[in-house]
Amino acid sequence: MLVGIPREIYPGENRVAVIPSGIQILTGAGFDVVVQSGAGEASHYDDDEFRNAGASIAPDAASLYEQADLILKVRHLVDNEPDLIKEGSTLICMLDAWFNQDLVKQLAAKKVRSFALEFIPRITRAQSMDVLSSMAAISGYRAVLAGAMVLPQYFPMLMTAAGTIHPAKVFIIGSGVAGLMAISTARRLGAVVEAYDTRVEVKEQVESLGAKFVEFDLPQEEGTSSGGYAKQQSEAFYKAQREQMSAKVAQSDLVITTAAIPGKPSPRLITADMLKCMKKGSVIVDLAAERGGNVEGTVVNQKVYVDGVTIIGYVDHPSRVPVHASQLFTKNITTFLQNMAKDGELTMNLEDEIVAATLVTDGGEIKHAGLLEAIEKGAK
């Protein structure tokens, strides 16, 4: 099979799906590889590096999609890419399938076999393929840096001849991969860090990083879904949570929110009334901005000032670290592909939990049961 690596055209996307060292992994597995000219430019890899690694170079997207049997991408298809992809080919990327159902239907109509990397199950065997975790770690790191650059004060405690500087107070909501990386980054910068999560089982991880785990007296509901992700709670739960969280948010200099529910809008955790209680000059970084945000007033991809509080709603944090983000993504996607590959061909085994969980379309049909049900409901 001929594997194609196109240049990403999603707005603000600087990553490439496979870096030159990954080309050698693919050719070693028996695949031929073609890379679109300029595909690695934004992540600081030039065409010669891909060529020297064993790939051929296609002059443009149309040429690449015309010849490739298997497309490896970071983001889902946009603009004219659904028209360019070859009928009967295979697509592996972060499809963002729950929110791109029209695209899913287009792929099925073109008999494209598609896999959504965001559906990789959180099991031990799939850890090296887990794109969401790899990218969430970068987002957590970048969130702290973004907040620190805007916060009008030092992070660490300083004893100076001019007086004592007290450390910044950082409150992190959500202690998944992004939250844990944010904790460790904020601690390294010298802040006093507290963190909260609906999943009490992460308390030990939070404390092991030197942060205080905050607990609220809330209605008892299951905090973790079967896939290891946070679970959507009832409105009564979120109301009680906001009431008790308000005082903690008001005391904080920097708040980082990371609460996201797979396939659902982001839960609203900080309201406009809570913003009014925060200190002037305090900062919120909303990592859930892409799906509506955890904060009332968040604007996607913008930094806004609301009642004296700066709210940062950037959604492209991994793209701001494209060298290492592309390196990690390469490991994830090539490992995922190798799990299904033998001698340069796909040997798809639906008994494999990873394959079954990520397969979205195949043979002109939508194979993901949850997506199919959602699409059929939407058509009624």
Phi (first) and psi of residue 47, to 5 degrees = -60, -40
Phi (first) and psi of residue 375, to 5 degrees = -65, -40
- Is the distance from CB of 145 to CB of 343 less than 8 angstroms? no
State the catalytic residue, choosing from 122, 187, 188, 320: 122
- Is the distance from CB of 133 to CB of 227 less than 8 angstroms? no
State the catalytic residue, choosing from 133, 233, 266, 319: 133
Coil/strand/helix, residue 292: coil
75 is known as an active-site residue: no
State the catalytic residue, choosing from 127, 208, 225, 302: 127
Tokens of 302: 């913008």
Gap between the Cα atoms of 70 and 68, Å rounded: 6
268 is known as an active-site residue: no
Gap between the Cα atoms of 45 and 128, Å rounded: 23
Give every CB contact of residue 81 below 8 A, 6+ residues apart in sequence: 6, 9, 61, 65
197 is known as an active-site residue: no
Gap between the Cα atoms of 212 and 343, Å rounded: 51
Neighbours of 21 (CB within 10 A): 14
127 is known as an active-site residue: yes
Positive or negative: CA dihedral 267, 271, 272, 275: negative
State the catalytic residue, choosing from 130, 197, 253, 286: 130
Gap between the Cα atoms of 358 and 349, Å rounded: 12
305 is known as an active-site residue: no
State the catalytic residue, choosing from 21, 67, 199, 229: 229
Q: Which residues are catalytic?
A: 122, 127, 130, 133, 229
